[in-house]
Amino acid sequence: MEKICVYGAGNWGSTAARIIAENTIRYDKFYNVVNMYVHKEIYNGRELTDIINTDKENTKYLPGFKFPDNVFATSDIQFALKDVTMLVVVIPHQFLVSAMKEVSQYADLSKLKVVSLIKGMYIGKEDIKTTTQTIESVLNLKPSVLSGANLANEIANREICESTLGCMDDTEAELWIKAFQTDYFRIMHVKNVYAIELCGALKNVVAVAVGMAAGLGYGNNTKAAIMRIGFMEILKFAQMLYPSTAESILFESCGIPDLITSCLGGRNFKVSAEFVKTGKSIDVLEAEMLNGQKLQGPLTSLEVHEYLSNVNKTADFPLFTAVFEIVYQNKDAKPLLESLFKVSRQSIL
């Protein structure tokens, strides 16, 4: 039998734990109890693990939605990983390496299967690692990825949506589908991992740009135009890194649908709109609007810019470059966003 642990207790991690806990009861392939590793945290004078286990609700990150009784939250990493064979990783990507080092200490890696729900990358000046490549480098196993147009609160509210599972092994894919799929959350399996992750990370940068446009008062026509430019830059970036990337992957939930969803109402969109409206820093807005959870889009724009600068390609990606300059160099958003429409079409394609 398979035992599942969800590593992370934010908005999306809590939603994933709720779904998985319902499915472990449904299928005899799984132990009923789902462990959820929660970073030690005090909220309203109580430990978050105590709130989740006693009140059956993550009142900080997913208020209003109850957990099934078979979700058990713990801040003891050794206990969380005991006998676990399937690990769902859903934390900000900047904490991934240290988290996986903990996993390597306490999990039985010979039996472990891992799926990443993280939308982010490690981008250095000379190389790029997706989250699964980072996990693989620490744990020496082949992780899968689940990504798509998946706003956590809508899924928690049982609104119909899809997600893309990138998994190279058909038998393992069947297990992940059983763990996640419901009548309202449909999983589409493809044998591609890295391109899915690039889509999931880069769409956050596009959502920042669209949010800025909204904050400046632009309407839907402008926002749609920025989405189109962003879509083309995502495709170009993916094919630059992985020349075999098929355009068809962008028509899965992890591609255009995720881009649209994030640009219509995701956290990167909302916070970026306030960023240009108020002039407050991203850090301040994260604290005010996200209960301290971290945005992925601004950091990804910084990492992407460093990489593109090193390979002399910034001019080929005007949207990615504009987001970096607005967030990190305090440049005026309005002229930079308007300049996107003065770039020749040839330089985008």
Q: From CA 324, how far away is CA 155, in angstroms rounded?
A: 31
Place of tokens 């005090």: 42
Provide the domain limits for residue 200.
Answer: 195-340
Is residue 201 a contact partner of residue 121, using CB atoms and an 8 Å limit?
Answer: yes
Q: What is the pLDDT of residue 33?
A: 98
179 and 35 belong to one structural domain: yes
Domain count of the fold of the chain: 2
* Strands ordered across the beta sheet of 144-147: 71-74, 34-37, 4-7, 86-89, 113-116, 144-147, 161-166, 185-190
Residue 11 is assigned to a ligand binding site: yes
For 225-259, how does the pLDDT look when each residue is reduced to its tens digit (9 = 90+)? 999 999 999 999 998 988 877 788 888 999 999 99
Q: Is residue 314 part of a domain?
A: yes
Checking if the pLDDT of 110 tops 80, the result is yes
Residue 8 is assigned to a ligand binding site: yes
Residue 95 is assigned to a ligand binding site: yes
181 and 211 belong to one structural domain: no
223 and 177 belong to one structural domain: no
Residue 296 is assigned to a ligand binding site: yes
Residue 13 is assigned to a ligand binding site: yes
Average pLDDT for the chain:
93
| Final residue in a domain of this structure, among 132, 163, 191 | 191
142 and 261 belong to one structural domain: no
For 277-309, how does the pLDDT look when each residue is reduced to its tens digit (9 = 90+)? 999 999 999 999 988 778 889 999 999 999 999
107 and 208 belong to one structural domain: no
Rounded to an integer, the average pLDDT of 23-43 is 97
Taking alpha carbons only, the member of 244, 160, 153, 232 closest to residue 194 is 244
| Final residue in a domain of this structure, among 134, 159, 191 | 191
Q: What is the pLDDT of residue 343?
A: 72
Q: What is the pLDDT of residue 344?
A: 52
185 and 257 belong to one structural domain: no
Q: CATH number of the domain at 162, please.
A: 3.40.50.720
Catalytic machinery residues = 203
Q: Is residue 347 part of a domain?
A: no
Q: Is residue 99 part of a domain?
A: yes
DSSP state string for 59-85: TTTSTT-BPPTTEEEES-HHHHHTT--
Q: What is the pLDDT of residue 193?
A: 87
Q: Is residue 345 part of a domain?
A: no
19 and 130 belong to one structural domain: yes
Tell me the backbone φ, ψ of residue 30, rounded to 5 degrees.
-120, 145
